[in-house]
Amino acid sequence: MNFIETRGNDGSRPYNVSFSQAILSPIASYGGLYVPLTLPDLGEVFLEKHSESSYKTMAMDMLLAFGIDIDKDVLYEALDLYDDFDNSTNPVPVVKVQENLFVSELYHGPTRAFKDMALQPFGVVLSSIAQKKKEKYLILAATSGDTGPAALETFKNRANVQVACLYPDGGTSDVQRLQMVTEDASNLKVIGIHGDFDDAQNALKTLLDSDTFKAKLKEDHISLSAANSVNFGRIIFQIIYHIHSYLELVRMGEVKIGEKVYLNVPSGNFGNALGGYYAMKMGLPVEKIIIASNENNVLTKLINEGKYDLRDSSVVSTTSPAMDILKSSNVERILFDMFGAARTKELMIELQDNNNYTLSKDELYTLQTVFLADFCNGDEGKKYIKEAFLKGYLMDPHTATCFKANDTCAKEGVKSIVYSTAEWTKFSPTIANALTGEADAEDITALKSIAKEANVEIPDMINALFSKEVIYDTIINKEDIEKEILSFV
Q: Which residues bind ligand PLP (CB under 6 A)?
A: 113-115, 146, 229, 266-273, 322-323, 398, 421-422
Residue whose CB is less far from ligand PLP, 222 or 230: 230
Residue whose CB is less far from ligand PLP, 36 or 321: 321
> What's the sign of the alpha-carbon dihedral 150, 156, 158, 162?
positive
Q: How far apart are CA 52 and CA 45, in angstroms?
A: 13
Q: Give the residue from 467, 462, 471, 392 showing the smallest Cα distance to 109.
A: 462
Residue whose CB is less far from ligand PLP, 47 or 374: 374
Residue whose CB is less far from ligand PLP, 323 or 447: 323
Q: At closest approach, how far in Å is the CB of 171 from ligand PLP? A: 14
For 394, the 3-state DSSP assignment is coil
Q: At closest approach, how far in Å is the CB of 114 from ligand PLP? A: 6
Extended beta strands in 155-266, E state: 161-168, 188-193, 222-226, 261-266
Residue whose CB is less far from ligand PLP, 250 or 273: 273
For 380, the 3-state DSSP assignment is helix
Q: At closest approach, how far in Å is the CB of 195 from ligand PLP? A: 21
Q: At closest approach, how far in Å is the CB of 16 from ligand PLP? A: 25
CB 356 within 8 A of CB 386: no
Q: Is 306 left (phi over 0), alpha (psi -120 to 50) or beta?
A: left
Q: At closest approach, how far in Å is the CB of 323 from ligand PLP? A: 5
Q: How far apart are CA 126 and CA 247, in angstroms?
A: 29
- Angle, helix 72-80 to helix 115-132, in steps of 10 degrees: 150
Q: At closest approach, how far in Å is the CB of 69 from ligand PLP? A: 25
Residue whose CB is less far from ligand PLP, 223 or 329: 329
Which DSSP symbol is given to 81?
G
